[in-house]
Structure 1
Amino acid sequence: MAIGHIFPATRLVTYPGPGIGACAFYLLAVLGMYILGISAYFHDSAACLLKDDHIIAAVQEERFTRKKNDDSFPEQSIKYCLREAGITLKDVGYVVFYEKPFLKFERLLETYFAFAPDGFVSFLKAMPVWITEKLFLKRNLRKALKNIDAEWNNELLFTTHHQSHAASAFYPSPFNDAVILTADGVGEWSTTSVAIGNKNDIKFVKEIRFPSSIGLLYSAFTYYLGFKVNVDEYKVMGLAPYGKPVYVDVILNNLIDLKDDGSFWLDMQYFNYCTGLTMTSSRFHELFGSKPRVQQQEITQFHMDIACSIQAVAEQVMLKIATALYKEYKLENLCMAGGVALNCVANGRILKESGFKNIWIQPAAGDAGGALGAAYAVYYQYLGNSRDETAHDKMQNALLGPHYNTADIKQQLISNGIAFKEPAPDDYYKTIARYIADGKVVGYFKGRMEFGPRALGARSIIADPRNADMQSILNQKIKFRESFRPFAPAILEEYAADFFETDVPSPYMLVVADVKPNCRLPLSNQDEQRSGFEKLKIVRSVIPAVTHVNNSARLQTVNKTLHPDFYNLINAFYELTNYPLLINTSFNRMDEPIVNTPVEALACFNQTGMDVLVLEDLIITKSSS
């Protein structure tokens, strides 16, 4: 069978063995036995602590270093998790890394040999790092861990990349059995894998191998459109609705050979990521009649159409895979992880069209979540602990990071001469809701910081979704980012079906749903003729600030029991306006990590056009508010 097609997963192996990956750390406390999961040195470092299958803490290293997607050794994250648990590193019985470096090095060498003499420059750049650092990862990890605690000397284990992703998707889910679909760029060899989860066991059954990768295909177009690979793929998804899918056939007839079961093969003459220093080749550029867009170059209708086309192809691939898996295995539940699982538009289609009754997606679907999965894999597979089905998932709304108390914040504000208000408890949510209803933009800093890429109501910027100008205000004066970027609604769970075409919860903002027709507004003939970014001028619904140009929204549903604080705030706005939803976007500026500390929140507040800042129980306003 051609390289890239799905076939039995013969190379998926278990630990122990050496490994390497993207930065993330997780601690897991199991009946007095702590397990530290690690994913590091690729994209996003983090740490998490579980006790008896309960996550105690989880945080990404970028939140401490302020370097977005920081891939350095997550020392600060580990130290935070240890503090949160009240333990030292010597109390950790197992450390597990989420990838195997020797397998990855094997793939690297085989790829260079297969394409030789092409890629010689890339080979020369890669080899020194591998020879001096990555092949000795086990030694280097031990050294770094001993720098944290010289007395630590316990066992170091390794999973494979997709094993950790699959574990992160299945074990925290509320399902006792499920099909597990992982899709990303590439791990050691796997780019797409299928496993079956049953109670405490995961068995891999199929995989697609490098260089054929739906994640790398999407990243190639991210590069071609002038965005950052492994960072800005979501911009491509947001740009897609402004275009038309005019290049779908070009992609399907030239770049990818897609089969009915979703298996595929990429024609590598159009790509340069195997051996080069870019994602696309000159043949790719000739096919589409243009060189890659330079980052600051104007985005034209051509770029919008390219984005729309690759998004349509990605949806088609993922939907074909999911539909075929449902027909083959006849299970009701699907779990997903890997970077492609963050494509919430594709997820929405899978939910509606694949046949699966229930879908659960790991909120930290990227490599940070892989570290959590590595720790879970040790707990359930290596140690053989039993696993029971639960009513809710184990991620606790992803509110797993650092938290700060009002008394300390108040003292800091007083020391720095910063005026604040402290409403009575009965008036707290009402006061904030009034600001929002009056058109103010509020920075909301309350409780534990979110783990993963989404702000879910703890480190959020919130505003009124009824305000037709609010999308422009937030993009230009707060986030300082591209005008085309949409904003997500956070809605009380029980009212979601009143505004959106959905009948399932979406607590992690990982599924797109359409605004219901009765909430949409009729368009004039002039509006119907608008194209490109002119579509931004159209008021499409009664909640225009969260209605994308194709009448969709990336939905967050808020449960009263699972997320009481954010629920109470939205409910206060509902009681005031009769609208049970708010705009919810991450508390940061473009290309910055989500704020972690009150000091960072205050700095972001002062450097942007935000009107109101909530720091736990305290409220700060600017003079014009």
Structure 2
Amino acid sequence: YLSPFDEATAHVIDGGYGVFRGEGNTLSPIDVNGYFDSWEDGKESDMRNHSGIGVLYEYVTTQLGFSGFDAGKTMALASFADQFPPEDHFPVPEDHQSSIWLEYRPLVNWIRDNLPKFDASIEEKGAEALLVPFWVNLARQAQELLEKDVLFLTEKAIEKVGSRNLAYSGGVALSCITNRKIFDAGLADNIFVQPSSSDEGIPLGCALMGYYEEGGQNRTVMENSYLGRSGDPSTIPSVIEENGFEYRETTPTEVAKLIAEGNIIGRI
């Protein structure tokens, strides 16, 4: 509904899974596996709910000591993998991609029963203690599995719908590294990621679905999820000075250099 496309493969990946054909203001279910109803090959199905790759990735995130909403930190931790020899820590069934209906609940249970959970409060170095081979490799393995599954599922979805315009959402869609790999793999000509792609976007989707099913016609492209008031640039210096902060003007080049050196900056 919020993409710039007149027709598209609408794809949702998280704990559940969905593929829809998008045409104008209508969405037709092709494959759906969720909590309330399921579809397979365009027909209603009584298939039970599966726990997809989003469930596994979120669980690994909590094993690393983060909140379930901090999946971006798992993605960041995985980026340190080039500093350590690769070593896998959980078993992935060789045939796990034999179907689009991925089921990760047994693997989540295995990780719960067999792998330790990081606790920054008992580590002398706090969260920095994550930067060791075990935890980095745990994040790396989850990230690699996520990327492999997303490419597999996206290819199957586009094959079924037939449109190379990809409108993509679900918590997994917030993995920017994975999204780049979809594009690099040549699976889609155009990609739109709904900015509020995780569970917070569900009420938005429900409202839009109701609007269009009741005959609404207006379409708008959602470019970001920042819906509050924008600040007045002229008030920024006075606000900073009132709070006793020092500041100076800078450039994107200087900011990039400071970040590359490991600094934390506040920029307005």
Q: TM-score, normalised by structure 1?
A: 0.35
Per the alignment, do residues 342 and 270 of structure 1 end up closer, same or farther by CA in structure 2, a change over 3 Å counting? closer
Q: Which residue of 2 aligns with 1:464?
A: 254
Once the two structures are TM-superposed, the CA of residue 371 in structure 1 deviates from its matched residue by 2.1
Q: Which residue of 1 aligns with 2:216?
A: 385
Q: Which residue of 1 aligns with 2:198?
A: 366
Per the alignment, do residues 213 and 405 of structure 1 end up closer, same or farther by CA in structure 2, a change over 3 Å counting? same
Q: Which residue of 2 aligns with 1:218?
A: 57
Among 29, 33, 37, the residue aligned to 1:208: 33
| Larger RCO, structure (CA 8 Å, separation 6 or more) | 2
Per the alignment, do residues 335 and 180 of structure 1 end up closer, same or farther by CA in structure 2, a change over 3 Å counting? same
Among 238, 250, 253, the residue aligned to 1:436: 250
Alignment of 1:408-423 (within 5 A): 409=235
Give distance in 1, aligned partners of 2:117 and 2:56: 15
Size of the aligned set, in residue pairs, is 244
Among 104, 112, 115, the residue aligned to 1:266: 104
Q: Which residue of 2 aligns with 1:328?
A: 160
Give distance in 2, aligned partners of 1:348 and 1:413: 38
Q: Which residue of 2 aligns with 1:177?
A: 7
Once the two structures are TM-superposed, the CA of residue 197 in structure 1 deviates from its matched residue by 1.0
Q: Answer whether contact 1:172 1:394 (CA < 8 A) is retained.
A: yes
Give distance in 2, aligned partners of 1:348 and 1:263: 24
Once the two structures are TM-superposed, the CA of residue 265 in structure 1 deviates from its matched residue by 2.2
Per the alignment, do residues 293 and 203 of structure 1 end up closer, same or farther by CA in structure 2, a change over 3 Å counting? same
Alignment of 1:189-200 (within 5 A): 191-200=16-25
Per the alignment, do residues 245 and 385 of structure 1 end up closer, same or farther by CA in structure 2, a change over 3 Å counting? farther
Greater strand fraction, Structure 1 or Structure 2: 1
Q: Answer whether contact 1:338 1:366 (CA < 8 A) is retained.
A: yes
Per the alignment, do residues 222 and 174 of structure 1 end up closer, same or farther by CA in structure 2, a change over 3 Å counting? same
Instruction: Report the AA paired with residue 237 of structure 1.
Output: M
Aligned-residue RMSD, C-alpha: 3.3
Alignment of 1:80-91 (within 5 A): none
Alignment of 1:248-397 (within 5 A): 250-253=90-93, 257-260=95-98, 262-266=100-104, 268=106, 270-271=108-109, 280-282=111-113, 284-285=114-115, 291-296=116-121, 297=123, 298-299=129-130, 300-353=132-185, 355-381=187-213, 383-386=214-217, 394-397=221-224
Once the two structures are TM-superposed, the CA of residue 363 in structure 1 deviates from its matched residue by 1.1
Instruction: Report the AA paired with residue 210 of structure 2.
Output: V
Once the two structures are TM-superposed, the CA of residue 232 in structure 1 deviates from its matched residue by 1.4
Per the alignment, do residues 177 and 195 of structure 1 end up closer, same or farther by CA in structure 2, a change over 3 Å counting? same
Give distance in 2, aligned partners of 1:281 and 1:418: 47
Q: Answer whether contact 1:227 1:295 (CA < 8 A) is retained.
A: no
**Per-residue CA shift, 1:304-345, capped at 9, x if unaligned?**
111111100011111000111222322121111111110111
Q: Answer whether contact 2:50 2:102 (CA < 8 A) is retained.
A: no
**Per-residue CA shift, 1:36-76, capped at 9, x if unaligned?**
xxxxxxxxxxxxxxxxxxxxxxxxxxxxxxxxxxxxxxxxx
Per the alignment, do residues 183 and 245 of structure 1 end up closer, same or farther by CA in structure 2, a change over 3 Å counting? farther
Give distance in 2, aligned partners of 1:417 and 1:325: 52
Q: Which residue of 1 aligns with 2:42?
A: none
Give 3-state SS (helix, strand or coil) of 1:246's partner: coil
Instruction: Report the AA paired with residue 92 of structure 2.
Output: L
- Which sections of structure 1, spanning at least 5 residues, go unmatched? 1-170, 186-190, 273-279, 286-290, 422-431, 438-461, 479-609, 615-625
Give distance in 2, aligned partners of 1:304 and 1:419: 36
Once the two structures are TM-superposed, the CA of residue 401 in structure 1 deviates from its matched residue by 1.4
Among 88, 93, 113, the residue aligned to 1:247: 88
Give 3-state SS (helix, strand or coil) of 1:319's partner: helix
Give distance in 2, aligned partners of 1:411 and 1:233: 35
Instruction: Report the AA paired with residue 140 of structure 2.
Output: C
From the CA coordinates, give the structure whose radius of gyration is larger: 1
Give distance in 1, aligned partners of 2:78 and 2:241: 48
Identity, in percent, stands at: 24
Instruction: Report the AA paired with residue 240 of structure 1.
Output: A
Give distance in 2, aligned partners of 1:410 and 1:354: 44
Per the alignment, do residues 216 and 420 of structure 1 end up closer, same or farther by CA in structure 2, a change over 3 Å counting? closer
Alignment of 1:441-520 (within 5 A): 464=254, 467=257, 470-474=260-264, 478=265
Q: Which residue of 1 aligns with 2:229?
A: 402
Q: Answer whether contact 1:215 1:339 (CA < 8 A) is retained.
A: yes
Q: Answer whether contact 2:55 2:104 (CA < 8 A) is retained.
A: no
Q: TM-score, normalised by structure 2?
A: 0.77
Give distance in 2, aligned partners of 1:334 and 1:417: 46
Q: Answer whether contact 2:171 2:198 (CA < 8 A) is retained.
A: yes
Once the two structures are TM-superposed, the CA of residue 292 in structure 1 deviates from its matched residue by 1.4
Give 3-state SS (helix, strand or coil) of 2:17's partner: strand
